[in-house]
Copies of this chain bind each other. A is one copy, B any other.
Amino acid sequence: MARHTYRCPLRWSDMDAYGHVNNVTYLVYLEEARVSLFERMDLASPLETGVVVARHEIDYKRPLVYRSEPISVDIWVEDVSRRSWTFGHRIHDDAGVVYAVASTVMVAWDIAGQGSRDLSEAERTQLLTLTDEPG
């Protein structure tokens, strides 16, 4: 699996008083894409063994209005370090219109010790299979 595309359903309530999907809600879509990816990865779930979000960068390209068809959230791995990695994301529709691009830095977390930890070899290997950015 070189990358993952999550088909993300919108909710009517994702829109704010301006009648557009609120900028904050795009981050919920990124979260849903990560959750979807973790579920598919052939690995004890990082969600269970511990991972935290350390940083987001997001550029908004176009306003998005509620519609019943899902939007696509591409997710891939931009970089892997000893204790962290970076997800790239692109939110787009089927016509290729891009609504946002984003990067998220994730840190492997030791839940018991409440601090960062090294990525396991299995985690690193899995993440490296996701390093192909969509063309």
Contact = CB atoms under 8 A, between A and B. Distances in A.
A11 to B, nearest CB: 6
* Chain copies in the assembled complex: 4
Interface string A83-115: 000000000000000000000000000000000
Nearest to A68: B39
Contacts of A16: 12-13, 15-17
A102 B90 CA distance: 21
Given A12-B17, A15-B16, A24-B13, A57 B60 contact: no
A22 interface: yes
A22 B35 CA distance: 14
Given A17-B66, A66-B17, A68-B39, A53 B23 contact: yes
Contact of A28 (B11, B39, B54, B68): B11
A32 interface: yes
